Amino acid sequence: MIKLYYHPSPNPAKIALFLEEAGLPYEMVPVDTRKGDQFKPDFLVINPNAKTPALTDGDVTVFDSNAILLYLAEKTGKFLPQDTPKARGEMLSWLMFVATGIGPYCGQAVHFSRFAPEKITYAINRYAREAERHWGIIDERLKTRRYMLGEDYTLIDMSVWGWATRLSFAVGEDWATMFPNVKRHTDEISARPAAQRAMALKDQFAFKTEVDADARKFLFPQNARLAG
């Protein structure tokens, strides 16, 4: 049985969506990152990077959301583009674009605007504008295509959807006006029954919601070095 190490946040959401879309049986294992579960020795064996999501499938262990999407797509043969070098090159480019651009810039935009102990105008602007620039590229692509790779719904759409559902948090309330094609794409995916089931996963466990002083210690352990 596949085990999904899950927290209700953007990167694990992509994997829950894939598992639900593919109809793969799986067990959700809660990792409450606001309570420090990501640093428990048993979890660090699965993901030495101490982040969610991670997945085990028998004796296979995979961590990092986009690696997991590719693993599941290759395992099932589902939600992949055509098996040609051209289509595979396109798929890999967009998967890495999400992994190295969308995810990190949205994450840092949220961090500096909402969680950093000091409001640093330069950092807030740098990450917010870069997050916007990356979403602008996705929006432009979706202007002429129903899905990221064309007419077929693939793992790339699921990868984009993870952070798209948190865009108001990452780039602000007017995200839908700024990125109307992303809005159309996100709404279409969110309405799918599999996405509804993926979004309901968080209700199976009482995850901590407060980002209080204890949670900050686990989420931003490097802040301890600021004290001295």
Binding site for ligand GSH (CB under 6 A): 7, 9-11, 33, 38, 50-53, 64-66, 103, 219
Q: Which is nearer to ligand GSH, 174 or 214 (CB)?
A: 214
Q: Which residue has the tokens 């409001």?
A: 119
Q: Which is nearer to ligand GSH, 82 or 100 (CB)?
A: 100
Q: Which is nearer to ligand GSH, 111 or 183 (CB)?
A: 111
**Which residue type does 137 have?**
I
- Report residue 203 as tokens: 């209700």
Q: Which is nearer to ligand GSH, 42 or 151 (CB)?
A: 42
Contact 144, 151 (CB under 8 A): no
Q: Which residues pair with 60 in a beta bridge?
A: 57
- Angle 53-161-109 (CA atoms, 0-180°, nearest 5)? 75
Q: Which residues contact 2 (CB under 8 A, 6 or more apart)?
A: 19, 24, 25, 26, 27, 55, 56, 57
**Minimum CB distance to ligand GSH, residue 84 (Å):** 27
Q: Which is nearer to ligand GSH, 104 or 172 (CB)?
A: 104
Q: Which residue has the tokens 């927290």?
A: 7
**Minimum CB distance to ligand GSH, residue 64 (Å):** 4
**Which residue type does 3 have?**
K
**Which residue type does 215 have?**
A
Distance of CA 126 to the CA centre of its chain: 21
**Minimum CB distance to ligand GSH, residue 85 (Å):** 26
Element (H, E) at 159: helix 155-164
Whole-number Cα distances in Å, 228 to 76, 92, 222, 225: 51, 43, 12, 6
**Which residue type does 226 have?**
L
Q: Which is nearer to ligand GSH, 66 or 186 (CB)?
A: 66
